Amino acid sequence: MIATLSERQTCNVIRELENLPADMPQDEIVERMPEYASRLFAHVANYGVRYDQRCTVRGTLADFGFTLVPNPLEDKRELLVQGISLLRPVHITTEAADLPALILNAPVRSAVESGWPSVAAEFQRIMPAQLLEKIESVGGKVAFGPRPRTELEAATGAMDETAFTLWCIQNGMRVPDQARMNQKIAEERANRNRTEARERDWAARHGNEEQDRSWNIREF
């Protein structure tokens, strides 16, 4: 993985990590940057993000190379993202070598690795918070092809998010933004309940009106 870091933001991270005075000049931190950066990189290594000695400086920006350590026995991807986020990068670029740590499903990983040249551009210059959702989204498309549309989607053109959730689960994939998905499902259920309540109320009121009119008809 390539993490593009800015001098200013990295100095801010170092101030916090080293508990340096808030008013300590940036120049003084830069002067001791090798020492401070060494400790910063050792810190993020605890999250499975290891600096691999690649570095290209571009003015006040620098591209640093990191190796993501895979864990085949446990899903540690959220921890990896936390480690990357601690660096506060301007953006990150995912590489093919990162896939074993990011895609735990072996068939999906194999499919993405085979098709990497066609999807690599989608992982360039993204933010850490986008990483896992992009992995799941792109991985699903590459491994399984387009998801079959449900009857609701065919009729409305809208995504049936409940069906999408089930599709992800059935294929052993993480559901992107599970909290938002759950909220959406809850909102849809609440809207449906409100609609049904309004229909029952309408039927009760207008049913009586129809009955009143029929009485009037009989009376005339």
The SS3 call for residue 159 is: coil
Q: Using pLDDT thresholds of 50, 70 and 90, give the confidence band for residue 75.
A: confident
- The winner for highest mean pLDDT among 118-122, 192-196, 212-216 is 118-122
Residues 25, 201: Cα–Cα separation, whole Å: 69
> Per-residue pLDDT for 108 more than 60?
yes
- Return mean pLDDT, the chain: 80
DSSP SS3 for 211: helix
pLDDT(106) > 70: yes
d(CA 5, CA 139): 27
Please write the tens of the pLDDT for every residue from 22-49: 999 999 999 999 999 999 999 999 999 9
**Alpha-carbon distance values, 168 to 130, 148, 154, 161 (Å):** 18, 12, 19, 10
- Model pLDDT for residues 182-208, shown as the tens digit of each residue: 666 667 677 667 766 766 666 666 554
C-alpha separations of 177 from 145, 163, 164, 180, 192 in Å = 21, 15, 12, 5, 23
Domain ranges in the chain are 1-145
